[in-house]
Each structure stands twice: as structure tokens, then as C-alpha cells.
Structure 1
Amino acid sequence: MTEPAEPTTELDLLYSETEDDLRAAVRALLTDRAGHQTLLSRIETDSPYVPGLWKSLATDIGAAGLLVPEKLGGQGASHREAAVVLEELGRAVTPLPYLASAVVATETLLALAGESGAAAGLLADLAGGGTVAVLAVPFSTAPDAEPSSSSSAAGVADAGAADVFLVPRADGLYAVPAGEATVEAQTPLDLTRPLARVTTPDGSGTRLAGPEAARAAVRRGLLAGAGLLASEQLGLAEWCLEETVRHTRERHQFNRPVGSFQALKHRMAQLWLDLVGARAAARAAADALAADSADAPLLVAVAQAYCSKAAVRAAEECVQLHGGIGMTWEHPAHLALKRAKSDQIALGSAGRHQDTIAALVGLEPPL
């Protein structure tokens, strides 16, 4: 058994003033343009995306380029700021390709920008918000998994919004324009994050990297995605608890708020404890990614193993403690539950991440 490694960096879990300002801007935008009632009406259409919302977030606020250095046309921020954006997107269960494009695809290209002019050029397009890129692998792919080199990938998240696909093949990574790919919509559990099968013809697109560099770049992109997905799950859990507390204060039985009943208070108190742990885990993962810490793979795995379960528990309690209204299509609780359940298997399941933790700290994984 190997000895566990000592932590190499001191974590900063607190939010900065800049991060708080960014949160306020994103929340104001989503409240104004993408409230839950708007989403409930959009999911009954062919596309859940609110027209113009991506431009407002990606370009006007500049969120698309947070991870991109200024010399490449981005904001020169870090994963901490991107995590704040994802917290707000999680709270609102917003249908936007932010995680897919501004995090996973952007991180993948950042790993290649120093060696590939095509990757650097594409990064500049992504940072400006005018182009959306999607890594053409199943949304369930874990960071330490070996992506398939098949010409077709099912379960690709936000593929319908992509302008270009990053396609792993046996001989490297390719950038394929969406017009050269076949995108077949699939039926997802979470209607706010569409899935599709993406098929690209052999020989199409521009080669960005060889096999080894491509594998390292894809792993970097998926690792960042898994780490910041925890922030989306955190935001979702926060909304579920806040909405449940609000409802149980206003709903009366026997001339008393139902939130004053001891059994319900205990359940909401447990949710609050879950939320505190999820915030610590998600912030630790974001900070480690921002610092490019050697502990990042471990902290990302911890965040996903914990936050995915916390989000599902919060969403389930939100539905149940709302009583009958929580089971209706008109109330947004079902949006949160479906997003939490789909996120639970996104970028690696909790069990997969627990196995990763065991391997990284030198423990035998559970049978």
C-alpha cells in the first residue's frame, strides 16, 4: 500500500469581492431573463435555450472567457470565478452550454494552445462568446476514462448548441464544424440539458493534436468539468433548501406553519449540514483547479463523490416537503430533481470517483 501524499497547497474556500460581484451580475441576468416559469414554458418547445441569453452571459458579462488568458482574448480569471457562474446556473437550472463549452472544451483547448495555432485561434473564438464548442464524448465520461475513438458518440450534452465539435480519434483530436457532423437528438431525463448522438465523417475537421497530447488534453477538460460540476450541484442544492424553507414557512396546517413541525425542521437542518459540506468540497475543487494543484484530481473526486449525492438528496426533499404541489409539472421542483439525477452520473458516477479517491490515497477500493 502506498503512503498518501501530503497536501501541496493551502486552500482558500472563501469568496472574493470580485466573485461576489460576478455572482450578483449573473443572478440578476438569470432572474430577469430565465426564471423558472420561463424555463417551464421553454422545455415544451423544440429547444430549451432562451434566445439571446447565451450572448448576454458569454459576451456581455464575459463569462465565456473566464478561463482563457488575456493574451488569447479571454478574461484571465480562474476556475473560482467560473465556479461562481455555475453555482448560479445550477440555482436557476438554466439551459446553457456553459459547462460544455466554457469549461470542458475550453480547458481541452488550453492544454493544446501552446503547440497548436488552430487550438489558440479557436480559444479566442470561444472566449468572445461567438462560438460554442462541445467535446464529442458521452456526458457520463469520467476524467480518468479512456474516451472512445469511434466516429459516433451518444449522450453528448448540449450538442445541438455547438458550432464546432472536438472529436477524439485514434490519431488525435480534431475540430469538426457542426455543419459537417450529424446530430441526432436523444430523449434526456433532464430536459434543460439536451443530449444527442454526434457522428462525424472520417477525415473531416482540423487536426489539433496527436494521440498522446489529445488524451492529456481531454483528461484535463473532463477533470475541470467534473470539478466545476460540483459547483452547479451546490447551487442547485442551495435553491432547493431555500425554496423548501420558504414554502414550509408559508404553508399552514392546524393553524401553524408546517415548517415549525419538529420532524420537518430536523430534515431541513440535515439538508443544511449537507449543504455546508458540499460548499466546502466544491470550493476546494475549484480552488485546486485554479492553482493547478497536484491535489486537484483528489479534490475533484471528493467533490463529485459528495456533491452529487447532496444535490439529489436536496432535490428529493424539495419535492417531498412541498407536498402535492411539488409533484406537479407547474412547479419547478421537478426541474431541480431531474438535473440533480442526471448530474449524478455526469462526468463519472459517485462510485467511480470513490474508487479514484481510494487509488489516489493508497486504499483498497470497496468491493
Structure 2
Amino acid sequence: MTQEFEFTEELTELRTMVREFCAEVSPQSVVRETMTTESGFDPALWRRLATELGVLGLAVPQSFGGEGAGLVYQAVVVEELGAALVCGPVVGTVCLAMPALTALADDTIRADYLPALVNGDRIATLAAPTAGGRFSADHVAVSATRGENGWTLSGHLAQVPDATSADLLLVAAGTETGVALFAVDGDAEGVARTSLSTLDLTRRQADVTLDGAPARLLAGEDECAAACERALLVASALLATEQVGGGQRMLDETVAHVRDRLQFGQPVGAFQAVKHRCADMLVALEQARSAAYHAVWALEDGTDDPRLAVSLAQAVASESYRWISTSAIQLHGGLGFTWEGSPHLYFKRATTDALILGSAAEHIDHVAERTVDLAPTGS
């Protein structure tokens, strides 16, 4: 049996570096201020993550501007960004667009787009239809037409993560012979974006309408599905680690609160029921952590079923994060229900994370498909 990765000293140092950076430049006061701005994120902060820390392209090959460190390193970074609720296009650029571009076979295309994303100079997102977190060619709502001046796209894209600020849209569109992947400049003629009101103000979404928008073909019908599926698998695994980061922060803040908050002359945490709830929160968190990093490892190592591991991670991490954030609200008492308290911010992130790439129930169905439904007769 192949041994899975360990959190080496290098990974620990990476975690510490990102955590300290977030605490310094994106404390909760900054998060609250940034999430109410028009764009919903600070481009300068995003570029600092790219240039000063160099952590946006850890899973991108060095030949295309990245570090080539692998998904485990990228997952550690995403976990810490999730713990701090850093406002930025983490899902669109790091989790979806970069893996999709990295999965393409054409080195020229990868060289044209990846370095700018790694350096924080451009923001991108993937607009590919999904069903339960999986790529679904049957739900493609954009058509591609080839004319004398090249390709143009027309159609409507709903609830695209980070599309509000993205200057590069990777769009799956139907052609005469199938579904292909195209690149569209966010400010191109024929592109209209409508920002949506979202439950989680720290993570923006937008509807995108394309009306004869000029596009560049990135992957043909024979490659598009595989690239999109790879991107969604990576995104789901990284999202699970982000959920772990948020859950860890809520556990830490809750333990600190019940330790310092006095009731009837003693700390709230001295009561047995509170102790039990905190212990249950820890158990749920560690289950999610194990499942999330196993999924990352499965995608990188290739010795386990990545689709099974990813769906298991999303099911466990989604449920754990929502339950931990709900428990945090309850254990914070009245403060947990106020705008000034932090638990509601994490609860909103947990709720949206649990839906953005397939619900826990849908991923449980995927697990059943790959285990119970495919098990040998009589097993």
C-alpha cells in the first residue's frame, strides 16, 4: 500500500507563512470592509499573494510560471485562505481556471494564459455546466459559431463564480460536432455581466450573457470534457480543504469564547454539555481534514479512485463545516446571532460552499455509484 503524504516541515512553514500574512493584511475588519465594495476583493492584496508569497500557482508546472510543488501545497494555502475568509477569486482562478488550463495539451495555449494568472495580473474563471459537481455536456447553454473572423459565442451563463471581476472567461460551448472549450475576454464586445446578490458577501457570483462575443478555441470536442472534469475534481478537493480551514477557525474561536465567557461565576466551557459539543466539533473537523487531504492526495498520486475520494471529501467536509459553524453560533450565545460576531460570516460561507460544486447529498450519491452500485454480486 502506498503511504500518503505527511505534513512535512516545509508544508508547516508554508502554512505558517500564509496564516501570518492573512492575519496581517486581511484581518476580519478588512474582510468586512472589502466584502461590501463593488468588486468584492482587493486586487492589490491578490497580487501580493502572487508576487510576495508566490502561492497562487503552486500546482502549476514551472514551465508555465508556477512552482510545480503540487496540489498538496496548493491545498494548504487554500485552507489558510478559507480560515481567514480572504476575499478574492480563489474558486474561479485557483480552483477552476488554473487546473482547466493546466490539463490542456497545447503548450502554446498554456503559456499564453497561465503565467498571468500565477502572477496575479489576470483573474479568470471557468463557466462549465455541472450536475452534482460533475461536468454535464447536456446542460451547455452557450453556442459557438465559426465565421470568417474566427469563433463567436452566444448564450447565457448563470451563477458563475468570480465572474464579476474576471477578465478571462473559460467557457464550454456547443459546436456542430460537440462541446468545446473557449477563452473569452471579460471586457470583450458582446459580453454582459450582472452581479448577483449572494448569501456570502465574501464570494461573488455573476450571470454572464454572451451575444456574438469573440472567442479563442482552447480545446476541441475530444479534449474539452476531460479538461473540465479534471478542473471540477481539483476544485472540489481544494474547496474541501477550504471548508476545513473555516471549520478550524470556528472551532478555535468557539473554544476561546467559552473559555473566557463567564456564566454563573465560571467559564461557559466548564459546563459538561458545552465540553461535549466542542469535542464533537473537533471530531467532525478531523474527519473532514482526513477526507479532504486524502482527495488531494488521490488526485496527485493517482493510486486511488480520485472521483470516489473527491465526492467523499465534499460530502464529509460540507456537512462538517455547516455543523461546526452552526454549533459556533449556538455556543457564542447572543453574540453568535449578531452582525458584529464572526460566526455568521463562516456559516454563510459554509452554506454556499456546500452548494457551489454539488451538494453533500449529490456527492453521497456519487459515492454510492462507485461503491455499492458497482460492488460485485454477493459482496
TM-score range, shorter chain: over 0.9
Gaps of 5+ in 2: 143-154
Letter in 1 for 2:91: L
Q: Structure 1 residues 29, 18: CA separation in 2 closer, same or farther (over 3 Å shift)?
A: same
TM-score with structure 1 length normalisation? 0.92
Q: Structure 1 residues 100, 271: CA separation in 2 closer, same or farther (over 3 Å shift)?
A: same
Letter in 1 for 2:127: A
Letter in 1 for 2:26: A
Partner of 2:151: none
Matched, 1:168 2:176: no
Partner of 2:198: 188
Show structure 1 runs of 4+ deviating over 2 A: 41-48, 137-141, 143-147, 200-203, 362-365
Partner of 1:20: 12
Question: Tell me, what secondary structure is at the counterpart of 2:114?
Answer: helix
Give the share of equivalent positions with the same residue, in percent: 37
Partner of 1:122: 113
How far has the Cα of 1:169 moved from its partner? 0.4
How far has the Cα of 1:11 moved from its partner? 4.7
- Higher relative contact order at CA 8 Å, sep ≥6: structure 1 or structure 2? 1
Partner of 1:75: 67
More strand, by proportion = 2
Check conservation: 1:143, 1:226, Cα contact below 8 A.
Answer: no
Match of 1:61 among 53, 57, 82: 53
| Higher alpha-carbon deviation: 89-98 or 130-139 | 130-139
Question: Tell me, what secondary structure is at the counterpart of 2:356?
Answer: coil
Check conservation: 1:137, 1:154, Cα contact below 8 A.
Answer: no
Question: Tell me, what secondary structure is at the counterpart of 1:267?
Answer: helix
| Higher alpha-carbon deviation: 246-255 or 345-354 | 345-354
Q: Any idea what the Cα deviations from partners look like across 1:202-242, whole Å, max 9, x if unmatched?
A: 35111111123111111110110001110000000101111
Q: Structure 1 residues 213, 81: CA separation in 2 closer, same or farther (over 3 Å shift)?
A: same
Partner of 1:107: 99
Q: Structure 1 residues 326, 140: CA separation in 2 closer, same or farther (over 3 Å shift)?
A: farther
How far has the Cα of 1:37 moved from its partner? 1.6
Q: Distance in 2 between matches of 1:156 and 1:138?
A: 10
Question: Tell me, what secondary structure is at the counterpart of 2:222?
Answer: helix
Matched, 1:246 2:237: no
Letter in 1 for 2:366: T
Check conservation: 1:138, 1:155, Cα contact below 8 A.
Answer: no
Partner of 1:338: 348
Match of 2:126 among 114, 121, 135: 135
How far has the Cα of 1:145 moved from its partner? 3.4
Q: Distance in 2 between matches of 1:128 and 1:293?
A: 32
Partner of 1:312: 322
Gaps of 5+ in 1: 1-8
Match of 2:81 among 89, 93, 101: 89
Q: Structure 1 residues 203, 53: CA separation in 2 closer, same or farther (over 3 Å shift)?
A: closer
Report the count of equivalent residues.
356
| Higher alpha-carbon deviation: 288-297 or 329-338 | 288-297
Q: Structure 1 residues 253, 198: CA separation in 2 closer, same or farther (over 3 Å shift)?
A: same
Cα RMSD between the aligned structures? 1.9
Check conservation: 1:143, 1:220, Cα contact below 8 A.
Answer: no
Q: Distance in 2 between matches of 1:118 and 1:63?
A: 22
Check conservation: 2:319, 2:354, Cα contact below 8 A.
Answer: yes
User: Which residues in structure 2 correspond to 1:202-281 (within 5 Å)?
Assistant: 202=212, 204-281=214-291
Q: Structure 1 residues 284, 96: CA separation in 2 closer, same or farther (over 3 Å shift)?
A: same
Q: Structure 1 residues 348, 293: CA separation in 2 closer, same or farther (over 3 Å shift)?
A: farther
User: Which residues in structure 2 correspond to 1:39-50 (within 5 Å)?
Assistant: 39-50=31-42
How far has the Cα of 1:306 moved from its partner? 0.4
Letter in 1 for 2:157: A
Check conservation: 1:109, 1:120, Cα contact below 8 A.
Answer: no
| Higher alpha-carbon deviation: 219-228 or 284-293 | 284-293
Partner of 1:155: 159
Partner of 1:3: none
Check conservation: 1:245, 1:268, Cα contact below 8 A.
Answer: yes
TM-score with structure 2 length normalisation? 0.89
